[in-house]
Structure 1
Amino acid sequence: MMNDTEREAIVLNSAWEMIDDMVNWAVFMKIDRADPSNLMFQTSGHARLFIILLGDFLSEIRAFKGEPIPLGLKPAPSNARPSDLTFLFHLRQVCADPKLGADTVDLSVAVEAFASWLEGEFVAEDVNLHSIDVVADLRVARCRYIKMCGDMAKHNLARLATNVGHLRKLLAEAGHPVSEQQGYLAVETFFEWFYQDIFIYHSSQVGEFLNNIRWAIYDYLQPEFRRSFHVPARSTAEFPMYSYHVPSGIAEPVAVAMYWDAMNRSRSQPYVQRFVIPDYMKQRY
């Protein structure tokens, strides 16, 4: 059973790693400014990879077939808000009871800003689902449509039953109830509408939210890095070495490895600079 310090090392390193995979200069075209007008994907394939990885980041980590949740992570409460059914829940646990640092204000602000945005709703007007001859104004939470598009980008039609259910519910709430078969027929056009237009527009802002969380983790871990990093006496100019004073509360092998990974990441600043997308690029949807 992981203790809270071990769990924190796992959560922080995992979050940082997932964000590194999404927000980097292989996925996005490199910018040097702190105030870019927007982020642009390198290719359509990179955009698709981004939403698949984002969908995983926004997915709940659950127990499987009665087994405990992997790596000793805590389950979200039964009355969880939507953003608690994402990896943000585990970052919230760190902010509520920090172990490796003391000041989680910036991390909490970054997490809550993204959570509030994800839970917000917008109306997509005149969504043309031509495959079933329906045009509707769909009200949807940002987190819901992003998860749906992430799944649709990753899975074939046979594995989209849950998302067909979500789509049918959105259509019913808009006054257009459809059958299950119609729901399957509408999946592709829903994906085209919400992914190619709305998500591509949102991706710059999502990148900013994720980058802010990454920088907040970096800032939070700096005091621990300075405490932990040291050069062993056996280090020489020919064979330079470094090590970390692993906290006594971290003993499980996976937690020790992830603590080392988190400290190694903390040796240098995140490779994407802090940036702010202007407000005029955040006003639609």
Structure 2
Amino acid sequence: MDLSNKERESIGLCICLEAVNEIVNHAVLDVRKSSRIPGEALIYFKDLVHRSLFIIRILDFAKEAGDSKLTGVSGSCVDILEKVCVESELGTDDSVRELKSAVNNLKHWLDQKSPIKLWLPTLNLDAEIEVSRIEFLKISGNSSKHNISRLTGVSKGIRTILSEHGYDVPIELIPLALEDFQEHLEQNYFTYYATWMAELLNEIRWGIQRYLEPLYAVSYKHQEDGFSYRFEFPEGFNHEVPKQWFWRLMNHTRSGPYIDSFRTPASLREQSSLEWGI
């Protein structure tokens, strides 16, 4: 299919919106609003499985590339949203402003380099390393996603990181230390930053909502029976498949985000215990 830019954007947006919905929702997260400071909230995980799922899905959202045939982007959901923010095919006036801010904030957070200190008993190594948060996310998310036989790439990446910081560790020893890394990252680092991460993703969901609301307002039509409804397709929708994606996207807009917008307390925007004293 030779899809128009609007058709491709609607497909990409729907994919990204559904990916965020799978991360920030009340089935995975326990959102506890502050009783003292309006607008603030804390995020807790239902259990350890949901904690792992949260990290895996954020990694997929931020890093895993999809097929460009439908969206026109050979990249992750973040890459798709960056293109939306530039081209804004379905937006009106300045409706993309909040989405653009949310995407930039998430990218800045992921790209931020974070120095941490790790005690790796398997290697008898007390290491200080500094890499971007997305690199930590790749280690933790892939370790939760795959069994140890599938983690060759992660092991090579860890060895490279250690080597760049002056620690010479044989590659064959790295798989034995993956559990040490996972304990530090998933059980400490990403647990501390979970509320902030959830806020960043939730703001993207709200950004998509604000971006699409003007289009939804003109596309949504009540039927004469007073109960059913339909959506009018914007100009540029010529194929059945993207029309179905558009209908799906508008229904998500009709439903709205699962979680209210919230702010992370300042105490959870500082340093995890792995970063103290560095």
- How does the TM-score come out when normalised to structure 1? 0.88
Post-superposition CA distance 1:176-213 (Å, at most 9, x none): 12111011111121111111100111111010001101
d(CA) in 2 for partners of 1:43, 1:171? 31
Partners in 1 of 2:47 and 2:39 — Cα distance?
A: 22
Partner of 1:183: 174
1:221 positional shift: 0.5
Cα displacement (A) at 1:231: 2.0
How many residues of Structure 1 are paired with residues of Structure 2 in the alignment? 266
1:32-181 mapped onto 2 (5 Å cutoff): 32-33=33-34, 34-61=38-65, 69-75=68-74, 86-102=76-92, 103=94, 104-125=96-117, 127-181=118-172
What SS does the corresponding residue of 1:167 show, helix, strand or coil?
Answer: helix
Asked if structure 2 preserves the Cα contact closer than 8 Å seen for 1:2 and 1:72, the reply is no
- Corresponding position of 1:265: 252
Which segments of structure 1 move beyond 6 Å, counting only runs of 4 or more?
Answer: none
Q: Which string of whole-angstrom CA distances, capped at 9 and with x for unpartnered residues, describes residues 127-156 of structure 1? A: 111112111001121011112211110101
For 1:189 and 1:274, the matched residues in 2 are separated by: 35
Q: Distance in 1 between matches of 2:258 and 2:41?
A: 19
Shift of 1:167: 0.4
The CA distance in 1 between the partners of 2:257 and 2:52, in whole Å, is 23
CA contact (8 A) 1:95 1:107 kept: yes
Q: Is the 8 A contact 1:38 1:281 kept in 2?
A: no
- Quick one: which amino acid aligns to residue 139 of structure 1? E
1:220 and 2:202 aligned: no
Unpaired runs of at least 5, structure 2: 273-278
Q: 1:219 to 1:37 in 2, by over 3 A?
A: closer
Preserved contact between residue 28 and residue 54 of structure 2 (Cα < 8 Å): yes
Match of 1:12 in 2: 13
Q: Percent sequence identity over matched residues?
A: 30
Alpha-carbon contact 2:33-2:41 (below 8 Å) kept: no
User: In the superposition, relative to structure 1, how do residues 270 and 149 fare at CA in structure 2: closer, same or farther (>3 Å)?
Assistant: same
**Alpha-carbon spacing, 1:225–1:124, altered in 2? closer, same or farther (3 Å):** same
Structure 1 residue matching 2:237: 3-state secondary structure:
coil
Give the alignment's Cα RMSD to 1 decimal: 1.7
Partner AA of 2:30 in structure 1: M
Q: Paired residue for 1:2?
A: 3
Relative distance call for 1:139 and 1:37 in structure 2 (3 A) is: same
Query: Structure 2 length normalisation: TM-score?
Result: 0.90
Contact in 2 for aligned 1:58/1:147 (Cα 8 Å): no
Give the drift of 1:62: 5.1
Q: From the two aligned structures, give the one with the greater strand fraction.
A: 2
**Partner SS state of residue 263, structure 2:** coil
Partners of 2:11 and 2:71 within 8 A in 1? no
- Higher mean C-alpha deviation, range 214-223 or range 131-140: 131-140
Q: CA deviation at 1:254?
A: 3.0
Structure 1 unpaired stretches of 5+: 64-68, 77-85
Letter in 2 for 1:40: Y
- Aligned counterparts of 2:124 and 2:242: Cα–Cα separation in 1: 53
Equivalent residue, structure 2, for 1:82: none
- Deviation readout 1:235-261 (Å, 9 max, x if unpaired): x26xx3210001231233332122111
Indicate the larger mover: 262-271 or 195-204.
Answer: 262-271
Cα distance between partner residues in 2 of 1:253 and 1:200: 43
> Any residues of structure 2 matched to 1:198-277 within 5 Å, and which?
198-233=189-224, 236=225, 240-277=227-264
Q: Who is 2:275 aligned against?
A: none
**C-alpha contact (below 8 Å) 1:37/1:281 kept by paired residues:** no
